[in-house]
Amino acid sequence: MVSDGFDGPGIPGPWSQAKNMQSDPHPSAGTHRAALSQLVDGELPAGELSAVLAGFRQHGAARADWHTYHLIGDALRSDELAVAPAHDERFLQALRLRLAQEPLPLDAPPRLAEVAPQPSAPAPDTEPAVPGRRRGAHWLVAPVAVAAGFVAVAAVLLVNQSVVTPPVTAPTIAQAPTAPAAPAVLVRDAQLDRYLAAHRHLGTGLAGAGSGQRSVQIVYEPK
C-alpha cells in the first residue's frame, strides 16, 4: 500500500496545506474545500453534509469553490463544458432573481400552511406544465376524498345486502327465464301437487311458526 500520510478520515493535514495556498475569507477554507471535494465525488459522510451546506450558505468563497471544482470536472470531460465562469455567475444571479419570486416548493403539508400567509409569496402559477403547482388543492381536497370513499363503501355494502337478502326470505327452486320469446309449458300433476303441499307444510313448520305464506314455483322445462 502506498500512502501519502493523509489516510485517516477527517485528518486536517492536507487541508491545512491547502489553506496556506491563498487567503480566503472563510476561516476554515482548507477543511471546507476538502469536504467540498468529497461532496463533489459523492464520498462525503452523510453526517458532515450539514456543516458543508452551512458553509455554502454563509460564504461566497465556498460557493465559488463548489463551482470551480465542478467546472474542473466538466472541462476535463469536454471542452464544450469549459464555459467562462462569468457566464455561470450571471446565470445563477438571474436565476436567483426568479427563484426569489417563487413560493417554496415545500414537501410536507404543514409547511404549506406555514408558507401560505407569507405576503411576499406570489400566487401560484396556474400553468399546467408542472404538476407541482397544485399541491395546495390536493391538501384541501384530501378530507373530502376520504369522506367520499366512506360513502362509496357504505353504498356498496347496502347494495350487496339488498341483493343477497331476498333469496333467504323467498326461496325459489327455479325461476322462469325473463325473456318471453319461448314461453315455458307448465305441466301440473295432482299427485305431485299433494306431495309438494305436504312438504310445504312440513317445511314451514321446520322454518318456524308464524313465518307467513311461502310460495314455491315449479317450472318444468320442456324436453
Which residues, numbered 101-120, are part of the site for another protein (CB under 8 A)? Answer: 102, 104-107, 111
> Of the candidates 12, 28, 51, 71, which one interacts with another protein according to CB under 8 A?
71
Which residues, numbered 136-195, are part of the site for another protein (CB under 8 A)? Answer: none
> Residue 169 has which C-alpha cell?
326470505
- Exposure pattern of 109-137 as b/e (b: 16+ CB <10 Å)? eeebeeeeeeeeeeeeeeeeeeeeeeeee
Tell me the number of residues near another protein by CB under 8 A.
83
Residue number with CB closer to another protein (28 or 204): 28
The yes or no reply on residue 204 touching another protein (CB under 8 A) is no
Q: Interhelix angle for 85-100 vs 60-77, to 10°? A: 130
The yes or no reply on residue 11 touching another protein (CB under 8 A) is yes
The yes or no reply on residue 25 touching another protein (CB under 8 A) is no
For the CB of residue 82, give the shortest distance to another protein in the complex, in Å.
Answer: 4
For the CB of residue 36, give the shortest distance to another protein in the complex, in Å.
Answer: 9
Strand, helix or coil at 210? coil
Distances (CA, A) of 142 to 53, 108, 113, 153: 35, 14, 15, 17
Amino acid at 201: H
Tally of CB atoms within 10 A around 55 = 23
Tell me the backbone φ, ψ of residue 207, rounded to 5 degrees: -70, -20
The yes or no reply on residue 60 touching another protein (CB under 8 A) is yes
The yes or no reply on residue 221 touching another protein (CB under 8 A) is no
The yes or no reply on residue 123 touching another protein (CB under 8 A) is no
The yes or no reply on residue 64 touching another protein (CB under 8 A) is yes
Residue number with CB closer to another protein (72 or 197): 72
The yes or no reply on residue 8 touching another protein (CB under 8 A) is yes
With a CB cutoff of 8 Å and minimum separation 6, the contacts of 52 are: 32, 35, 36, 39, 44, 62
Cβ-contact 184, 219 below 8 angstroms? yes
Which residues, numbered 27-56, are part of the site for another protein (CB under 8 A)? Answer: 33-34, 37-46, 49, 53, 56
For the CB of residue 59, give the shortest distance to another protein in the complex, in Å.
Answer: 9
For the CB of residue 119, give the shortest distance to another protein in the complex, in Å.
Answer: 17
Which residues, numbered 76-105, are part of the site for another protein (CB under 8 A)? Answer: 76-96, 98-99, 102, 104-105
